């Protein structure tokens, strides 16, 4: 599969190569401009094929072997670990971000009066488990707000103190792409003895994510956005000090001896080593797991550093054009490079997204900002079409 790298003269020689449009790998008509990865990515044709082959295997279950329960799962675990620079023994298979975050909340200590820190307006799945944990333990759930044009990182750093037990954060805020410098947050957490729990669903796969540097206690990723994978699949990273913790489920496949189907009646209580104990039930998912593997292989083939460079350069240019129309985009050093939040001028009509959709231009609105999140399937024609449409509407 060709990668079609493009080398641009103004890039630093140390920067990874940019990637040309990969639209040919997706089932996206030429007249559709899909700029909504933060909502849900399309599946590559190769991923659809892998899912189809997996589903057909279940249609003829006499062909299912014991290896089908393990091989793709183990491969996905290893590929994700490579993507985030971690050990595969620390990776669990989960169906959703909320599953993994609830697991984290159950396994982290919280004393009465201690705080759990989160960004205001971060995704609800990353607040509900912590609000419940605070209620049950007499702790305090604290939301950190910040103003447009100011650093989310600095606001979080200012809020972390000796009472902080958990910093529960994203890498970029799902509403507008505000960037949180996780390496800086980790250092501050270490100073006060706080745990760091991350929801990286809006960044992993599009931004370089190095767990050796960030060192989260727990981190989750749902695959259906920037990981380009199927819905209801995801990963949970668990730091080594929590590998003996309490899982949400008491399954059989996570126990020692689980590969010996003829001897499952022995009911071993001992878990397999590593984060396997946190795996979801029915993790093999014969239809979807091959698609997860296929998507991960393509992300690694492109290189997340090249994806980040490509999306960052294209979005920087697009932001300049949006600002020229009277929208207000976040400064590039304060947002994720792959993620644009463009504040809508006061008085803009309420049916803006409907008008754009009728023109086959698809994006989102969160609060008062357009959320514009392109990917490698987009090309200059998509951006020109968006700018032209907005110039007529605004």
What's the rounded mean pLDDT across residues 60-70? 94
SS3 for 127-138, per residue? Answer: CHHHHHHHHHHC
Could you read off the pLDDT of 102-150 as tens digits, one per residue? Answer: 999 999 999 999 999 999 999 999 999 999 999 999 999 999 999 888 9
Instruction: Identify which of 48, 67, 51, 71 has the alpha carbon closest to the alpha carbon of residue 59.
Output: 51
Question: Does residue 239 carry a pLDDT above 80?
Answer: yes
Could you read off the pLDDT of 266-296 as tens digits, one per residue? Answer: 878 999 999 999 999 999 999 999 999 999 9
Angstrom CA distances, 357 to 32, 352, 369, 390, stand at 9, 9, 17, 12
Question: Does residue 13 carry a pLDDT above 70?
Answer: no
Rounded CA separation 98/101 (Å)? 5
DSSP-based three-state secondary structure for 108: coil
| φ and ψ at residue 160, rounded to 5 degrees | -75, 125
DSSP-based three-state secondary structure for 301: helix
What's the rounded mean pLDDT across residues 324-351? 93
Can you list the positions of beta strands (E) in the chain? 5-6, 18-19, 33-34, 91-94, 115-119, 140-144, 164-170, 195-199, 218-222, 234-238, 328-329, 340-343, 361-362, 364-366, 369-372
Pairing of strands 328-329, 33-34: unpaired
Instruction: Identify which of 192, 233, 234, 200 has the alpha carbon closest to the alpha carbon of residue 216.
Output: 200
Residue at token pair 């199927």: 230
Q: How confident is the model at residue 263 (pLDDT cuts 50, 70, 90)?
A: confident
Instruction: Identify which of 329, 331, 333, 340 has the alpha carbon closest to the alpha carbon of residue 375.
Output: 340
Contact by Cβ (8 Å): 282, 341: no
Q: Delineate the domains of the chain, giving CATH numbers in brackets.
A: 5-30+303-393 (3.90.1150.10), 52-301 (3.40.640.10)
Q: Which range, of 67-81, 118-132, 264-278, 380-394, averages the lowest pLDDT?
A: 264-278
Rounded CA separation 171/198 (Å)? 7
| φ and ψ at residue 298, rounded to 5 degrees | -70, -40
């Amino acid at each position: 599969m060709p990668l079609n790298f493009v080398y641009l003269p103004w890039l630093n020689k140390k920067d990874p190569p940019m990637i040309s449009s990969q639209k040919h790998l997706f089932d996206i008509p030429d007249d559709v401009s899909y700029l909504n990865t933060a909502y849900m990515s399309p599946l590559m044709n190769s991923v659809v094929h892998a899912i189809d082959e997996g589903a057909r295997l279940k249609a003829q279950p006499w062909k299912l072997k014991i290896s089908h329960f393990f091989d793709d799962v183990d491969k996905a675990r290893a590929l994700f670990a490579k993507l985030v620079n971690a050990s595969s023994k620390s990776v669990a298979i989960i169906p959703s971000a909320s599953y993994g975050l609830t697991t984290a909340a159950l396994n982290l200590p919280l004393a009465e009066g201690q705080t759990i820190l989160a960004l205001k307006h971060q995704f609800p799945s990353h607040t509900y488990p912590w609000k419940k944990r605070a209620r049950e333990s007499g702790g305090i759930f604290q939301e950190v707000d910040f103003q447009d044009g100011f650093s989310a990182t600095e606001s979080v750093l200012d809020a972390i103190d000796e009472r902080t037990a958990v910093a529960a954060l994203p890498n970029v805020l799902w509403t507008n792409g505000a960037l949180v410098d996780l390496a800086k947050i980790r250092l501050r957490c270490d100073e006060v003895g706080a745990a760091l729990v991350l929801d990286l669903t809006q960044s992993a796969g599009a931004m370089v994510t190095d767990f050796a540097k960030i060192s989260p206690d727990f981190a989750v990723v749902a695959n259906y956005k920037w990981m380009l994978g199927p819905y209801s699949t995801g990963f949970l990273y668990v730091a080594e000090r929590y590998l003996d913790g309490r899982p949400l489920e008491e399954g059989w496949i996570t126990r020692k001896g689980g590969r010996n189907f003829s001897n499952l009646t022995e009911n071993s209580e001992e878990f397999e080593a590593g984060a396997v104990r946190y795996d979801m039930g029915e993790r093999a998912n014969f239809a979807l797991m091959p698609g997860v593997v296929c998507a991960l292989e393509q992300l690694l083939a492109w290189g997340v550093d090249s994806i980040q460079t490509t999306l960052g350069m294209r979005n920087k240019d697009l932001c300049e054009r949006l600002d020229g129309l009277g929208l207000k985009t976040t400064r590039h050093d304060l947002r994720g490079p792959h993620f644009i939040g463009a504040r809508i001028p006061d008085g803009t009509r309420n049916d803006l997204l409907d008008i754009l959709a009728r023109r086959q231009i698809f994006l989102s609105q969160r609060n008062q900002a357009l959320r514009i999140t392109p990917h490698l399937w987009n090309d200059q024609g998509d951006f020109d079409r968006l700018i032209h449409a907005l110039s007529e509407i605004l």
